[in-house]
A and B are shown apart, each in its own frame.
Chain A
Amino acid sequence: MPIAIALIVLVVGSILFHFLSPWTFTPIASNWGMIDTTVDITFVVTGFVFVGVNLFLAYAIIRYRYRKGARAKYEPENKKLEGWLTVITTIGVAAMLTPGLFVWAKFVTVPEGAIDIEVVGQQWHWTFRLPGKDGALGTTDAKLFSVENPYGIIPEDPNGYDDVLVDEAIVHIPLGQPVRFWLRSKDVLHNFAVAQFRVKMDLVPGLETYLWLEPTKVGEYEILCEELCGIGHHAMRGRVVVDEPEDYQAWVDSQPTFAEIQTRTPGDPVLGAVSYAVCAACHGSQGEGLAALHAPKLSGQDPRYLKRQLQNYKLGRRGIHEDDLYGQQMAPMAATLVTDAIIDNVIAYIGTLPDTPAPATVIGDIAHGAELYVLCANCHGADGQGIPRSAPRQAGMSDWYLLDQLKNFKQGLRGHHPHDLHGKQMGFMARTLQDDQAMRDVVAYINTL
């Protein structure tokens, strides 16, 4: 008996849970409302079966539970009943499948005039590429991937010159325009998924896959990777911004093209030396860092990382948390480097400074730190020298600064701005360090590299 009651309670409970649950589809922001409709149809049909079968089961248990002297009916089969059940089931299945196939047919046919946007995935970052004025993306070759040519664009292909390169994990798309995302991966499988758009597709190295959608609501949505791609899988985040068409155009125009990047003049260290005078007050004339002033060592750091951080400060993605006092001090300093060119010059100058390893000040359990560092090594490299386009160098840099920043990441003082996606990623990783001691251990290990 209790089992029959339990079944009834579970059925009723499931229905109540379904209708009362605050956890359901996110408000849709694309044209794929048809998918939601198909889901609803499926819910109705399967819900009917679920309730019917289980209530009947409960009723049968109550009515035919064991009674002394009772006898079960002997009925090997009932062809008519089985026949009808088969027919009804088939009809139910067809009712769910048919609309599904129609919607799928829409999904596989990309409408004429859809905007092409290329999504490039790598462990564990997103970047994007848009065709330039010619409307065509330049062809690429996986063998050409390099730090200078992160997209693997074939330089000989003229279509590639005006391709717009978005070298960060934030992409914009115009409202009300069908967009076809071409998906490409540089290393392993990834999956491009935005919950509010409903559709998703894998990025497969060696292959170009696609999906299309038409955004219907202005806003910013999170891109998640939904194909296990290694230890940073959960931290591989990006953002897609749905803009009014004019805002979209403005954004496109502000992004550099492949040709511009190829022909960009490198930073001038001589000019940079002049601008660096401001920095030297805290970071030292040799970029060696000054612990007393909470200014870390700069020399020997990956120039891309330095540039990204300066821009983060300038754009208000870093140094804005009220408890991040030293970050707050840095923000106005970064603002004094007014243009990209000035930033490039300063970084070029830093590149000329002698790279003497910073003194080790943090003490911890090196053996334990080595165990913890296995995780870090996936981005920062087993030697702590950093991996270009992945994560900065740690070995030989100011260790007290590493410790401070680990704390900042863990407490959300750094990497909490939605557009600081690298920072967000580091936040995920810093939170796996349980306490200050674990952080000291890992930094102590880095000191040995």
Chain B
Amino acid sequence: MAYVAIADRDHEIEHHAPTTFITKYIWSQDHKVIAIQYAVTALFVGLVALILSGMMRLQLGFPNSFSFITPIDYYQFITMHGMIMVIFLLTALFLGGFGNYLIPLMIGSRDMVFPYMNMLSYWVYLVSVIVLLTSFFVPGGPTGAGWTLYPPQAILPGTPGTDWGIVLMLGSLALFIVAFTMGGLNYVTTILQARTRGMTMMRLPLSLWGIFMATILGLLAFPALFVSAVMMTLDKAAGTSFFMPAVMSMGENLSHEGGSPILFQHLFWFFGHPEVYIVALPAFGLVSDLLSTHARKNIFGYRMMVWAILAIGGLSFIVWAHHMYVSGMNPYFGFFFATTTLIIAVPTAIKVYNWVLTLWQGNIRLTVPMLFAIGFIFTFTHGGLTGIFLGNVVVDLPLSDTYFVVAHFHMVMGVSPIMVVFGSIYHWYPKITGKMFNQTLGKVHFWITFLGTYAIYLPMHYLGFLGVPRRYFAMGDTEFMPESAFTLNQSITISALIVGAAQLIFLYNIIVSLKKGKDAGPNPWQATTLEWQTPDTPPKHGNWGPELPVVHRWAYDYSVPGYHDDFIPQNVPADATPATSEHGSDT
């Protein structure tokens, strides 16, 4: 009995459209609704984390001026800010949000292959978010161990939130991993098995390559976080000594013995480094499609881009210890990890070249999504290059644990992915809602965010060169810090507050445009990929009407010579003559 692909037995599969309000919008199994649920939840916690960062900046710019920011609060803020942004915002938004929305639409399928599990994934994610936020309201507050949660401090007094906060944090992470695994298995299987006819792997838009590889990384790397979370919970609750050596705490000798804090760090970063690419690869993919569409030009070097994604994904598992050069691990590891880390710069650089070369000889429309995409190239180049400093083991010695690190990772996995998030939301907004957002507000949002974040992070690198350590509640009088460095900190804070406030423009724009936006039409950007070719906008349940689309070409047929239009959708047959094209064009 030969297996018949899903796309080839579309008519045999029954699709029940949800009928009640609850099954349509709450307990929905429709990937589009789940995507929006994921995205809204992620953006909401992201907003919480943004407010936390504003509080941190207030303390750093104007030390000891606010009674609501003590060292306890401050360390809780940095911990929650980091963990929320990395896991609960970026990972959830890129994979749970964009992944859910785009995968079935871009491959031409009606939904995920396991819709029920997809729904569970969201609800477990929501529970994990609630558990995390609950820690603000328990005695002792959330954990203040830093997002890396290093033991022994994470579970010993002297760090905030070692009673309940850390337990809730670990529990929330475990739940998140369960949610992610359910979602991730879905994304992988759907991309492998539910592609429509003609949609070969090499015809997938790069967005999906990025999301696909990131999901694989996530599936294999999150277990490392799970392992460390379980073992740390046992160290805290059951008195085991996985990570806990013999130590004193509050003047008392504890009963732990022989454990290794470095073991935790290895496990943590074995997850933590791939996590960087779990966030970066979807951003790479999405931005490639943004650039290509709005430059009216095919993505330059598609195959190289795919191979670069594969190479980065593969290499990302053997660079983790570059986070641990000064952790006290065997220093000889430094040679190996510095080499692998710098090797990963090569495929990454190739991606940057190809993005820029995509614009070269294009016909660049400076739409809002395009502006964000250009902003991404600039900020990512900057953040990537400073990564070479930190990856090169000996350069890391003076810079590690300083503001240089903070500036670097915010450029590379804060600002630049967020540029892609905004660009992508603006890009797909007309498809998701059927309405066009306000372009002027979008541009204002871009300019403040782009220039503002650079004003935050460029100077921050130089505080790092000076030697200003990160995770300091206050610098006090530190001899090597000139008065001007404090002024610089104030200016960074002011920029940060402006950028933070500017995000309200974004929220206002996407909320108000729901009602007031002009009708966008099915394909306002004249894009080629399948999601723009749905019979309805926004797509209805089942996405495609009676017949699944059939794919005849790759996702980047822009400005093909000999055709009238400057784009040919993927589902247009190869022999279609340009004159009979049903898609209007204003070029």
Stretch at the interface among B183-191, B479-487, B503-511: B479-487
CB closest residue in chain B, given A53? B381
In the assembly, what is the distance between CA of A191 and CA of B385, in Å?
26
Q: Which residues of B contact A78 (CB under 8 A)?
A: 300-301, 357
A292 interface hit (Cβ, 8 Å):
no
**Is the CB of B314 closer than 8 A to any CB of chain A?**
no
> Contact at B363–A195, with CB atoms within 8 Å?
no
Expressed in whole angstroms, the minimum distance between the Cβ of B158 and any Cβ of chain A is 4
Hey, which chain B residues are within 8 Å of A196, CB to CB?
Answer: 480
Instruction: Indicate whether A71 sits within 8 Å of B559 (C-beta atoms), given known contacts A53-B381, A90-B346.
Output: yes
Report the bound CA distance from A34 to B393 in whole Å: 13
Q: Name which of A23-31, A167-175, A277-285, A350-358 contacts chain B.
A: A23-31
Q: Which of A261-288 contact B (CB under 8 A)?
A: none
Cα distance, A222 to B556, chains bound together (Å): 58
**Does the CB pair A82–B328 fall under 8 Å?**
no
Within 8 A of A (CB), among B349-395: 349-350, 352-354, 356-357, 359-366, 371, 374, 377-378, 381-382, 385-386, 388-389, 392-395
Flag whether B451 is at the interface (Cβ < 8 A). yes
Residues of A within 8 A of B66 (CB): 434
Once the chains are docked, how many angstroms separate the CA of A227 from the CA of B405?
13
Residues of chain A within 8 A (CB-CB) of B339 are 97, 101
| Residue contact A66 to B301, C-beta cutoff 8 Å | no
Are A224 and B248 in contact, with the CB atoms below 8 A?
A: no
| A188 close to B247 (CB less than 8 A) | yes
User: Which of B304, B371, B465 meets A3, CB within 8 Å?
Assistant: B371
Say how far A89's CB is from chain B's closest CB, in angstroms: 5
CB–CB B352/A206 < 8 A: no
Contact of A198 among B248, B388, B398 (CB under 8 A): B398
- Chain B nearest CB from A214 CB (Å) reads 15
Q: How far, in whole Å, are A233 and B144 apart by their CA atoms in the complex? A: 12
- State the CA gap A233–B145 with chains docked (Å): 11
Is there contact, CB below 8 Å, between B401 and A200? yes
| Surface stretch bound by A, among B22-30, B203-211, B223-231, B466-474 | B466-474
Partner of B465, one of A25, A108, A233: A25
With a cutoff of 8 Å between Cβ atoms, the chain A residues found around residue B473 in the complex are 231, 233-234, 428
A42 x B559 contact (CB < 8 A)? no
Contact of B328 among A147, A183, A232 (CB under 8 A): A183
B150 contacts chain A at the CB level, 8 A cutoff: yes
From A14, A26, A66, A221, B363 is in contact (CB under 8 Å) with: A66
Instruction: Assess the B378–A107 pair: CB atoms within 8 A.
Output: no
Is A6 located at the chain interface by the 8 A CB criterion? Answer: yes
Check if A77 sits within 8 Å of B300, measured CB to CB. yes
B247 A202 Cβ-Cβ under 8 A:
no
- Residue B72 CB within 8 A of the other chain: yes
**A104-B363 in contact (CB<8A):** no
Question: Known: A199-B397, A222-B478. Is A17-B261 also a contact (CB below 8 A)?
Answer: no
**Which residues of chain B come closer than 8 Å to A25, judged between CB atoms?**
398, 465-467
A14 — which chain B residues lie within 8 A by C-beta? 458
- A432 lies within 8 A of chain B by Cβ: yes
With A104-B394, A183-B328, A201-B328 as contacts: A75 and B298 at CB distance below 8 Å = yes
- Please tell me if the beta carbons of A89 and B349 are within 8 angstroms of each other in the complex: yes
Q: Is the CB of B160 within 8 A of A231?
A: yes
B363 → chain A closest CB, angstroms = 4
Whether the Cβ atoms of A60 and B75 lie closer than 8 Å is: no
Contact in complex: B158, A93 (CB < 8 Å): no
Chain B residues near A187 (CB, 8 Å)? 152-153, 156, 158, 247-249
Tell me the nearest residue of chain A to B334, going by C-beta. Answer: A104
The yes or no answer to B402 lying at the interface (CB within 8 A) is: yes
**CB of B258 closer than 8 Å to a CB of A:** yes
Query: For the complex, what is the distance from the CA of A186 to the CA of B401, rounded to whole Å?
Result: 21
Interface flag for A388 (CB, 8 Å): yes
Whether A204 contacts B328 by the Cβ 8 Å rule is yes
Q: Decide if B298 touches A76 in the complex (CB within 8 Å).
A: yes
Bound-state CA distance A431–B459 (Å) is 27
Residues of B within 8 A of A390 (CB): 250-251
C-alpha spacing A69/B363, complex, angstroms:
9
B365 partner, pick from A66, A81, A424, A429, beta carbons under 8 A = A66
Q: Let me know if B64 is at the binding interface, CB within 8 A.
A: yes
Nearest-neighbour CB distance to chain A for B416, whole angstroms, equals 14
Residues of chain A within 8 A (CB-CB) of B482 are 22-23
B389 and A39 within 8 A (CB): yes
How many residues on A have C-beta within 8 angstroms of the other chain's C-beta atoms?
120
- Tell me whether A438 and B67 are in contact (CB under 8 A): yes
| Contact yes or no, B465 A23, CB < 8 A | yes
Minimum Cβ distance to chain B for residue A63 (Å): 8
Report the minimal beta-carbon distance from A44 to chain B, rounded to whole angstroms: 12
* From B345, B395, B474, B478, contact of A100 by CB (8 A): B395
B166-196 contact mask (Cβ, 8 Å, vs A): 1 or 0 = 0000000000000000000000000000000
A10 to B361, CA, bound (A): 23
The smallest C-beta distance from A58 to any residue of chain B, in angstroms, reads 9
B331 contacts which chain A residues (CB < 8 A)?
104, 107-108
User: Which residues from B are CB-within-8-Å of A225?
Assistant: 469
Query: Closest residue to B399 on the A side, CB-wise?
Result: A39
B164 to A: closest C-beta gap in Å: 14
Contact with B along A43-74 (1 / 0, CB 8 A): 00110011001101100110011111111111
List residues of chain B with CB within 8 A of the CB of A234.
71, 469, 471-476
In contact, B377 and A57 (Cβ under 8 angstroms)? yes
Q: Cα distance A93–B339 when bound, in Å?
A: 10
- Taking a contact as CB atoms under 8 Å apart, the answer to whether B381 and A204 are in contact is no
Task: Known A97-B338, A203-B328, A233-B471; judge A228-B300 contact (CB<8 A).
Answer: no
The distance in angstroms between the C-alpha atoms of A196 and B304, with both chains bound, is 44
For the complex, give the distance between the alpha carbons of A46 and B385 in Å: 6
Chain B 246-257, CB-CB to A under 8 Å as 1, else 0, gives 111111010001
The reply to whether B298 and A191 contact each other, CB–CB distance below 8 Å, is no
Known: A82-B301, A100-B395, A108-B331. A188 touches B359 (CB 8 A): no
Q: Contacts of A231 on B, CB cut-off 8 Å?
A: 71-72, 75, 144, 158-160, 473
Answer yes or no: B157 CB below 8 A from chain A CBs: yes
- With known contacts A193-B469, A224-B469, A142–B346 Cβ distance under 8 A: no
Shortest A191–chain B CB gap in Å is: 6
Residue of B nearest to A27 (CB): B480
**Which A213-262 residues have C-beta < 8 A from chain B?**
221-222, 224-235
Closest Cβ–Cβ distance, residue A445 to chain B (whole Å): 15
The reply to whether B363 and A207 form a contact with Cβ atoms under 8 Å apart is no
Cβ contact within 8 Å between B342 and A206: no
Query: Are A228 and B471 neighbours in the complex by a CB distance under 8 Å?
Result: yes
Known A39-B395, A143-B246, A188-B153; judge A228-B463 contact (CB<8 A): no
CA distance A96 to B390 in the complex (A): 12
- Min CB gap B337→A, angstroms: 11
Q: Is the CB of A222 within 8 A of B150?
A: no
Which of B146, B262, B374, B485 is A228 in contact with, Cβ under 8 Å? Answer: B146
Q: A204, B338: Cβ atoms under 8 Å? A: no
Closest Cβ of chain B to A387, distance in Å, is 5
Q: Does B310 contact A (CB under 8 A)?
A: no
Indicate with 1 or 0, residue by residue over B388-425, a CB within 8 angstroms of chain A CB atoms: 11001111011011100000000000000000000000
| Chain B residues, Cβ within 8 Å of A75 | 297-298, 300, 361
Nearest residue (CB) in B for A9 is B451
Cα–Cα, bound, A103→B338 (Å): 12
Indicate if the CB atoms of B401 and A101 lie closer than 8 Å: no
Least Cβ distance of B205 to chain A in Å?
Answer: 15
User: Among the listed stretches A321-329, A373-381, A395-403, which one makes contact with chain B, having 4 or more residues with CB under 8 Å of it?
Assistant: A373-381
- Indicate if B438 sits at the interface (CB-CB under 8 A): no
| A341 interface hit (Cβ, 8 Å) | no
Complex interface: chain B residues within 8 A of A374 (CB): 72
Can you show 11 pairs from A to B with CB atoms below 8 A apart?
A: A23-B462, A23-B466, A38-B392, A42-B395, A54-B378, A72-B296, A74-B560, A76-B556, A78-B357, A85-B349, A206-B261
List 4 tightest A-B contacts by C-beta distance, closest first.
A206-B245, A195-B467, A209-B328, A230-B158
7 more A-B contacts (CB under 8 A) besides A75-B298, A187-B156? A1-B366, A6-B451, A7-B378, A74-B558, A143-B257, A205-B245, A432-B71
